[in-house]
Amino acid sequence: GQQLNQSPQSMFIQEGEDVSMNCTSSSIFNTWLWYKQDPGEGPVLLIALYKAGELTSNGRLTAQFGITRKDSFLNISASIPSDVGIYFCAGLTFTGNQFYFGTGTSLTVIP
């Protein structure tokens, strides 16, 4: 299957700091999704991206669809304790029937 490389694998930050994480692929994608998963729960959709170069915000979260179509970025500004969780990217190729998921970025926010 497709390989999505998500980095960093984990992050420990102080409350109030900004966070950046990214996802890269060897294939070109036509859709990128970003999810957050809390312990014991399913992933919750944060942002969906459909066009190269697209920049979309959802509150303190901003995600971008890379120009090359092979990457995507998620930024969280002014982090708060409830931002703690695992963030996953997911991508869909032009010919694919399924989304491929990254391996997740575990975020810990220290109050």
Q: Which residues bind another protein (CB under 8 A)?
A: 1, 30-31, 33, 35, 40-45, 48, 50, 86, 88, 90, 92, 97-101, 103-104
Q: How far is the CB of 79 from another protein (least distance, A)?
A: 20
Tell me the two tokens of residue 62: 């901003």
* Cβ proximity to another protein, 43 vs 109, nearer residue: 43
* Cβ proximity to another protein, 13 vs 92, nearer residue: 92
Tell me the two tokens of residue 15: 């409350």
Q: In 24-56, which positions are buried (b, 16+ CB within 10 angstroms) versus exposed (e)?
A: bbeeebbbbbbbbeeeeeebeebbbbeebeeeb
* Cβ proximity to another protein, 50 vs 78, nearer residue: 50
Q: How far is the CB of 37 from another protein (least distance, A)?
A: 8
3-class DSSP assignment, residue 72: strand
Q: Beta strands 85-93 and 100-101: pairing type?
A: antiparallel
Q: How far is the CB of 43 from another protein (least distance, A)?
A: 5
